[in-house]
Every structure is written in C-alpha cells, then in structure tokens.
Amino acid sequence: MKRTRQLIHLGAAALALCTAPTLMAAESATIGNVTVVNDYLFRGLSQSDRDPALQAGLEYDHASGWYVGGWGSSISWLSDTSAPGARVSSSVELDVYTGYRTKVGDDWTLDGGLYEYYYPGSYPHGYTRPYTLEAYAAVGWRALTLKYSQTLGNAFGVADSRNSSYVDLSWNWEFTPGWLVNAHAGRQRIAGTSAASYSDWKLGLTRNFDHGYAVALGYYDTNARRSVYTNAMGHYLGRATAVISASKAF
C-alpha cells in the first residue's frame, strides 16, 4: 500500500476456522487448526503480497456457549511499507478473541464478542499503530450468516478512523457429505477516508476429509481503489484472484 502511516490491513483467517467459530459445543472442548495458503486474503485484500502464508489457531469452547481463542499468520503488508530511515519490522499477525454463541431453536444461531488484531514489531516515530479492536455480532439461519463488526479505535493503522465497520453475508452449504459451497459478500467502510471503503465477494468450494484434513479453493474479487490499495512494489492488493489452502484441524 502506498501510504506509510495510513494503511488498510483487514486481516484474519483465510478459512475462517477461528474468526468464524463453530456452533456452541455440547461439551467443553479445545480445537485447533494449522493452514497453508498460497495467498493470505482477508476481506478481499492480500496480506502477504501474493505470497504463501502459514497460519495456526487454537480455541477453547465452553459448554455454556462462551469461547476464547487465538490465531496467527505470517504477513508482509506492514514491512512492505518500510522506507529508508523509517523501517517497519512487523511480519506476523497475532489475534485474540472472546465471545458467546448460542442456538435458538433448530435453525438459528447468535454470536457476539470482541476481536483484537496485534502486530508485534518496531515502528518509526509518528507511525499510526495498526493494532485494532473490533466488536462483532452475528446471526445465523441454517447455512446463512450475517455479521457486523465495528472498530472501537482506529482501523488497522488509518489515523482518525474510529468506528469503521464491516458487514458481511456468508453462505456455507454442505450439499453432500464432506463438500461445501462457500459464498460471501461484504462491505468495508473506513470512517473519515471514503476512498478506502470498498466491497468484496467470494465463491468457493471446500472438501473435508477424515481426521480433520480439508482443502479449499476460492475465487475472490473487490472494487477497492487501485490508488489506495497498490503497495510499494506496484502490486494491486484487491485484484481478482484464486486462493487454495490446505488445513488440518485437531
């Protein structure tokens, strides 16, 4: 991305194994996952400059519906903004989150909580820190989920962007055992910087195997402005692209 101090990151799990926790557990349980992906995308934007990323997460689900977890990924979008005399060393995203989910009848689910994005590393003087805290709420009906997230401070390094928001509608339909269709449309609003607001969409297919293995393929695109979302290497981060990932849940 071109600007050093005002950048849009927008990152989380490519497969949504941690960022979109599963339904309320019948018993307390701890779940985890490891994923390799050819390009780390979140909300349609590349976080790894089109390069592969390694990701992992761990979540504790209490039988009451309360959950807490953490997730991490390799990234490059921050270090890509480095300039002579203004180095940025962060190359890892570490997230923590907590919330509560419950079922209402047979078809409805409710979910809400807090999600913190953290990027360890060193930043030059005057750099707007990318650390971001979002509150989120979601309602699900069968295979459909509508989710709203809002920042409680600045959004991913953009100065004066408090109360930025993201709304997305997702559809994950298991049309036959082990096979799922994944569709998604979202709208990112960056408060105070309308040029950075955009929409993104996805259509994908996931194949689940025995013993927690899965492979996913998705087609992603956005209408993000090239003038905002082109990095120092001249790469447009919101381009239409295919993403393939392999994961192991445990």
Per-residue pLDDT tens over the stretch 174-225: 999 999 999 999 999 999 999 999 999 999 999 999 999 999 999 999 999 9
The predicted model scores a pTM of 0.90
Whole-number Å distance between alpha carbons of 66 and 60: 9
Q: Which two tokens stand for residue 22?
A: 């599963």
| Cα Rg, the chain, nearest whole Å | 18
Length of the chain: 250
- Percent of the chain residues topping a pLDDT of 70: 90
Beta strands, E only, the chain: 29-37, 41-42, 45-46, 53-61, 66-74, 92-104, 108-118, 132-141, 144-151, 165-176, 179-189, 198-208, 213-222, 241-249
